[in-house]
A and B are shown apart, each in its own frame.
Chain A
């Protein structure tokens, strides 16, 4: 083309957004013919999922790399301004109470490593999924998850300077008993094939339960004066809405591809709902017991974010594909009045071996709990807390003098009750290759029996201690191996954090 008289400033035609996005993403892919598809994508066949047309994948966000960098840089600019301001003004002194930070300790030890794990394994999807569109969405999510891990590390870095329990989060995630709960969940997902990982994390975790897990956490942070955590949380959640979209698109795409996929996916939904729900027990305990100023009860959050939005909204949508609500969902519903109490009791019993502290709820807190849980709290849980208060009034503090029995699947101490009966512990046993395996619930037992070859491998912290693999035979040996430092563990009242807090707030009245 040669132009004698150049027309200056011709506005070129503009491609429609959708077409332009497609050219910039999926059109980059090509059909290889110097190597085979099987050589290039060796991991997409063995799970039994059938995909006929990878191009059926839609990405409503249509985020290109330049837009990604622009928006994300802006988000981080805002976030780090909050972090810097908070640190410079010694903002930690304006928290509701130092005991609030126990929730954040649990967060960096238990959740931040999951963000990191998600980062690594979405990179696996970005390598191994065959379709260019889901690969790109997975790549974006991989980078986002790295962001989440890092912004959390940076947010909490400031608290780490002044309070215990934050300092060795990474090592602790690999070693400490209660952290094997989240770790084993992600290990389970990552060791599965790419499609199961996609359904477990993108759908069951990110779409089904993320709201329940994160939004109340962040509102709690806001309510207790923790602006940095609220800021990183909401900032991360803005990425999360893209991830939720990936999860929803993933499930619809796979269900639309082939009818043979439906029962496989139903099985994964059944498994992963329960797996993720069980882990959310830690969040339930945090919401109801660890926030000095509670913002919303577990029960209320469960009803709002899970029953109303997911069971009421999402599942009727999935019914179209022949998908039914998760197999053990009624057990979860039946537990909503019990979960937080039973879980916090576990943490309270065992915080001598944890990198956070616990305390028995005081009367005012119990009044709130009985208001939130009129059917269960006074009848089943208050008497035990009263007993603890009596012991403490006499100068004692009762911990569990030993180690607990753990669930083979979720790895939480077996402290849950039968769905319909708070007075009876829920204990299930299965036998596989002449060995007994204990599980805490119908859901965990079902998961075990579905894939016993997988769960027999579990690194159960209690059993590992007894095998001599955790630093030595005594509690101090194990705590040293965990990386727990003086003042990290035990009872909050009288702890180093509480002493520092009192010293930094000399006129504030001390809670008994």
Chain B
């Protein structure tokens, strides 16, 4: 349903990919851990290798839970579907695009 307006109501998305240049937003959820109220949001280079993304962004965040153990991290998922990450592969090459939601268990 289009928005009813006195004129053609059409505006660009405030968070469209181009507003982030070579970067993008990625959301990361630690499944089954209510210590974190929600998934975290990160701005990361599209070309950032997955391993670097985890080390530079996910670990400092998840590590505020004293029970976090990087070695125990498993079952990565992208929008709920299984994801096979490879540390050296860029986020976008893994299919992790702008505003993607990925999750892990630990």
**Are A and B close enough to touch in the complex, i.e. CB under 8 Å?**
yes
- Residues of chain A having any CB pair with chain B under 8 Å: 42-43, 46-48, 193, 342, 345-346, 348-350, 380-381, 383-384, 387, 391, 398-406, 413-415, 423, 425, 427, 429, 432-433, 435-438, 450-451, 453-454, 456-460, 462-464, 466-467
> Would you list the 7 A-B pairs with minimal beta carbon distance, nearest first?
A415-B37, A456-B13, A466-B43, A405-B39, A413-B38, A415-B38, A405-B27
> Which residues of chain A are within 8 angstroms of B39 by Cβ–Cβ distance?
404-405, 414, 425, 427
Give A40 to B92 CA distance when docked, in angstroms. Answer: 55
A438-B34 in contact given A405-B41, A414-B39, A457-B14 (Cβ < 8 Å): no
Binding-face segment, B45-53, B82-90, B98-106: B98-106
> Which residues of chain B are within 8 angstroms of A413 by Cβ–Cβ distance?
37-38
Give A427 to B29 CA distance when docked, in angstroms. Answer: 11
> Which residues of chain B are within 8 angstroms of A193 by Cβ–Cβ distance?
4
Cβ distance B78 to chain A, nearest Cβ, rounded Å: 11
Q: In the complex, which of the residues B10, B12, B29, B64 contacts A399, with contact meaning CB atoms closer than 8 Å? A: B64
Please encode chain B, from 5 to 45, with 1 for each CB lying within 8 Å of some chain A CB and 0 for all others: 11001111111110110000101010010111111111100
Say if the beta carbon of B60 comes within 8 Å of chain A: yes
Are B64's CB and A436's CB within 8 A?
Answer: no
Are A427's CB and B2's CB within 8 A?
Answer: no
Are A402's CB and B13's CB within 8 A?
Answer: no
Chain B interface main SS type: loop
> Which residues of chain B are within 8 angstroms of A387 by Cβ–Cβ distance?
35
Cβ distance A434 to chain B, nearest Cβ, rounded Å: 9
Are B61's CB and A402's CB within 8 A?
Answer: yes
Say if the beta carbon of B1 comes within 8 Å of chain A: yes
| A416 to chain B: closest residue by CB | B38
A463-B38 in contact given A46-B6, A398-B64, A435-B17 (Cβ < 8 Å): no
Give A349 to B61 CA distance when docked, in angstroms. Answer: 12
Cβ distance A430 to chain B, nearest Cβ, rounded Å: 11
| B65 to chain A: closest residue by CB | A398
Q: In the complex, which of the residues B1, B32, B38, B43 contacts A423, with contact meaning CB atoms closer than 8 Å? A: B32
Cβ distance A452 to chain B, nearest Cβ, rounded Å: 9
| A459 to chain B: closest residue by CB | B14
Give A402 to B19 CA distance when docked, in angstroms. Answer: 21
Give A179 to B96 CA distance when docked, in angstroms. Answer: 30
Are A342's CB and B41's CB within 8 A?
Answer: no
Cβ distance A401 to chain B, nearest Cβ, rounded Å: 4
> Which residues of chain A are within 8 angstroms of B97 by Cβ–Cβ distance?
436
Ordered by A's residue number, 14 sampled pairs between the chains whose C-beta atoms are within 8 Å are A42-B6, A193-B4, A345-B34, A348-B37, A350-B37, A401-B64, A402-B40, A403-B42, A405-B27, A414-B39, A438-B101, A451-B2, A453-B10, A457-B14
Give A460 to B1 CA distance when docked, in angstroms. Answer: 23
Q: Which of B19, B32, B41, B97 has the most CB of A within 10 A?
A: B41
Are A398's CB and B35's CB within 8 A?
Answer: yes
Are B100's CB and A425's CB within 8 A?
Answer: no
A404-B40 in contact given A436-B100, A457-B11, A457-B14 (Cβ < 8 Å): yes
